[in-house]
Amino acid sequence: MYVLGSRFENVSFSEPVAKAGDAVLVPARIPNIIANYADNLCGGHIMVTGVGDNTVEAAKRVGIYNDHSMQVLGPTEMVAALKAGRADTAILTYFEASHLA
């Protein structure tokens, strides 16, 4: 579970055991370079991420709201949204993205 400020209200965290950033999966059909949340926002792309993931809160902090994002159950559904053309980027953990790529 990601340690987020909003989660401190309900969870007592131990010392973190790992630190990992988010990653962006972009299908080959998207010609622009999209490497982060800001690139996604500036390009007007539709981002897909998991329901309740830390990426939902991170996207909102840079101004990506429901009109440019969608939430699905998990990584399998993220890839399906990319393949179907319903989303332009998938933002998820580095480890998940590496595995799926």
CATH classification at residue 47: 3.40.190.10
Residue 9 lies in a domain: no
Residue 3 lies in a domain: no
pTM: 0.80
How many structural domains is the chain composed of?
Answer: 1
Residue 87 lies in a domain: yes
Residue 24: its pLDDT value, please?
93
How far is C-alpha 75 from the chain's CA centre?
Answer: 10
With a cut of 50, which residues of the chain have pLDDT below it?
Answer: none
Rounded Cα distance, 89 and 101, in Å? 13
Domain of 31 in residue numbering reads as: 20-100
Sequence-ordered alpha helix ranges (H) in the chain: 37-42, 54-61, 75-84, 94-100
Residue 50: its pLDDT value, please?
95
